[in-house]
Amino acid sequence: MNKQITVSDSLYGQGISRRSFLKFCAITASTLAITGVGVKAFTQALAVARRPSVIWLSFQACTGCSESLLRSGNPLTDRLTVENLILNFVSLDFHGTLQVAAGAQAEAARRTAMEENFGQYVLIADGGIPTGDSEWSSAEGGQSALVLLRETIEGAALVINVGTCASFGGLPASAPNPTKAMGVGDLMAAGLVPSRALLNISGCPPVPEVITGSIAYFLVNGALPPLDSLQRPMLYFGKTVHDCCPRLPHFEAGRFAASFDDDGARQGHCLLLLGCKGPDTFNACTTNKWNQGTSSPTQAGHGCLGCSEPAFWDHPGGFYGLVNEFELGDGTACATPAHPQLPVV
């Protein structure tokens, strides 16, 4: 762990103003349900927090989680983007996609970070991990993904799974799961990798502010936030998409769009009949929204796919749930079941 540099040292060293930092802290504190004098205490604690060493491993993934994070802000108008906050919160000592180093040099950086910070570093994972006779479907530096994960998890104080693939297997694990892919938590439960404190930030991709807020909570409190049964922070996954959806008044009044281009859809009517999975999906996307608070899927007219829930790739909602003619590799149909929560009006 870098014992010298604090979060505020790093931010101010990058030319980020104190004003921007205070603004970020106020917004993050509100998402963590911290109000009043608690905001000042949160800000002070975050400013003096030491930046933990982070090793970020990517497995069977589309890189969408990293892409989402890196493109979450507008660098022309705001230097304090989510991604530069994250990169200043932590000492990112290894990230296979972002780092300049490659090959043996990159591998050496990972080993050095592990040795110098053994027992203290944070391991961030994205992507599903192939297992069994498909273990070598993903490999790096002469090691299978599973061996790489097992070795790196050994000295980690905390594992953060970013995205639905690392959390629950995601797309690689969808039927027929040709590489026998698993999420990190399932690997721990099966005894295939050592068990460590685990935080799942699911979503395809996950909401960037949820990653920032969860890391900020850990830095300030030295502990994980309260978690739900799927190891997700309750502060961000405690409510469904439906609970906070701008179309909820129409749902309650029994006004449903019958197609994506009818008058009802244009007037903001509920998308449940079009396969929206908002009532069954826990995520912060309708409260935090995307692209710096611009909009969310249901606000924009696209029903929720359920991207933050396990096995959503096998049973996606929204438009893709309506495309139920095709069959999955195991012969089962990919369909969204009729929803039991239709209101009686």
- The binding site for ligand SF4 (CB under 6 A) comprises 241-242, 245, 247-248, 251, 270-272, 276, 278-279, 298, 303-304
85 residue type, one letter: L
**162 binding ligand F3S? (CB under 6 A):** no
63 residue type, one letter: T
Give CA–CA dist 237/235, Å, rounded.
6
The torsion angles phi and psi of 292, rounded to 5 degrees, stand at 55, 45
**91 binding ligand F3S? (CB under 6 A):** no
Question: Shortest Cβ distance from residue 307 to ligand F3S (Å)?
Answer: 3
**129 binding ligand F3S? (CB under 6 A):** no
Half-sphere exposure of 321 (CA within 13 A, CB side): 23
Give CA–CA dist 69/209, Å, rounded.
9
Question: Shortest Cβ distance from residue 153 to ligand SF4 (Å)?
Answer: 36
Whichever of 194 and 268 has its CB closer to ligand SF4, that residue is: 268
Question: Shortest Cβ distance from residue 272 to ligand SF4 (Å)?
Answer: 4
Give CA–CA dist 327/285, Å, rounded.
30
Cβ atoms within 10 A of the Cβ of 73, count? 19
Look up residue 224 and give its two tokens: 């994980």
Q: Which stretch binds ligand F3S (CB under 6 A): 7-15, 27-35, 37-45, 293-301?
A: 293-301
Whichever of 44 and 267 has its CB closer to ligand SF4, that residue is: 267
Give CA–CA dist 129/165, Å, rounded.
9
Question: Shortest Cβ distance from residue 297 to ligand SF4 (Å)?
Answer: 9
Whichever of 95 and 247 has its CB closer to ligand SF4, that residue is: 247
**283 binding ligand F3S? (CB under 6 A):** yes
- Is the link from the previous residue into 208 a cis peptide, with omega within 30 of 0? no
- In terms of C-beta density within 10 A (0-12 exposed, 13-18 middle, 19 or more buried), how is residue 343 classed? exposed
Q: Which residue is nearest to ligand SF4 (CB)?
A: 278
Whichever of 78 and 252 has its CB closer to ligand SF4, that residue is: 252
Question: Shortest Cβ distance from residue 202 to ligand F3S (Å)?
Answer: 9
The one of ligand F3S, ligand SF4, none whose footprint includes residue 271, by CB under 5 to 8 A per kind, is: ligand SF4
- Is the link from the previous residue into 75 a cis peptide, with omega within 30 of 0? no
Question: Shortest Cβ distance from residue 260 to ligand SF4 (Å)?
Answer: 12
The torsion angles phi and psi of 16, rounded to 5 degrees, stand at -85, 130
Q: How many residues bind ligand F3S (CB under 6 A)?
A: 13
Would you call 122 helix, strand, or coil by DSSP? strand
Binding residue for ligand F3S (CB under 6 A) from 305, 310, 315, 334? 305
Look up residue 30 and give its two tokens: 């509100």
Interface contacts to ligand F3S, rule CB under 6 A: 203, 241, 281, 283, 285, 296-298, 304-308
